[in-house]
Amino acid sequence: MNERIYVISIGAYPNYGDEFITAAWLRFLAQARPEAEVWLDTRYPGNASALFAGMHPHLHTTDAVFRAVEDSRHGSGRSVTQIVRELGTPLYDLPLQVLREATTVHLLGGGFVNAVWPENQLLVEAMRAVKSVGGARLIATGQGLLPDVGERFTGFDHVSVRDRGSAFLLDCEVGVDDALLALPGGVSSGADEPIEVVLCVQNDAQDDGVFERLVAYARRCVETWQVPRERVRYVEAIPGGDYAGYAALHDLVAEDGFVPFSALWRDGFSMGPHQVWVSSRFHHHLVASAHGARGVALSGKKGYYDVKHNSVKALGSGWVLTDGTDETVPSLDLLPFPGDVADAHRRKLAEARSLYPGM
Confidence of residue 35 (pLDDT cuts 50, 70, 90): very high
Average pLDDT estimate for 260-283: 97
The answer to whether 96 touches 46, Cβ cutoff 8 Å, is no
Q: What is the rounded distance in angstroms from the CA atom of residue 237 to the CA atom of residue 242?
A: 7
The span from the CA of 359 to the CA of 357, in Å, is 6
**What's the pLDDT at 327?**
87
In the prediction, which pLDDT does 187 show?
63
Q: How many CA atoms lie within 13 A of 314 on its CB side?
A: 15
Quote the strand ranges of the chain, DSSP E.
4-8, 37-41, 59-62, 104-107, 137-143, 158-161, 196-200, 232-235, 258-259, 275-279, 294-298, 320-322
How sure is the predictor about 188, in pLDDT bands with cuts at 50, 70 and 90?
A: low
Confidence of residue 2 (pLDDT cuts 50, 70, 90): confident
Residue 14 confidence class, pLDDT cut points 50, 70, 90: very high
Please give the pLDDT value at position 319. 98
The pLDDT value given to residue 192: 76
Name 278's bridge partners. Answer: 199, 296
- Helix, strand and coil content of the chain, in percent to the nearest 5, comes to 40, 15, 45
How many Å separate Cα 263 from the centre of its chain? 18
Residue 175 identity (one-letter amino acid): G
**CA pseudo-torsion sign 48, 53, 57, 58:** positive
- Amino acid code (one letter) for 230: E
Contacts of 183 (CB under 8 A, 6+ apart): 286, 287, 290, 341, 344, 345
Residue 184: predicted pLDDT: 87
Whether residue 359 is predicted with pLDDT greater than 70 in this model: the reply is no
pLDDT digits (tens, 9 = 90+) for 21-30: 999 999 999 9
pLDDT in tens, 291-344: 999 999 999 999 999 999 999 999 999 999 999 999 899 999 999 999 999 999
| Predicted confidence (pLDDT) at residue 256 exceeds the cutoff of 60 | yes
Helices (H) and strands (E) in the chain — how many of each? 13, 12
pLDDT band at 189 (very low <50, low <70, confident <90, very high): low
pLDDT, position 254: 98
Model confidence, pTM: 0.97
- When pLDDT is cut at 50, 70 and 90, the band that residue 358 belongs to is confident
Indicate the average pLDDT of the chain: 96
In the predicted model, what is the mean pLDDT of residues 58-81?
98
| Sheet strands side by side (includes 258-259) | 258-259, 232-235, 196-200, 275-279, 294-298, 320-322
SS3 28: helix
CA nearest to 154, candidates 132, 173, 174: 132
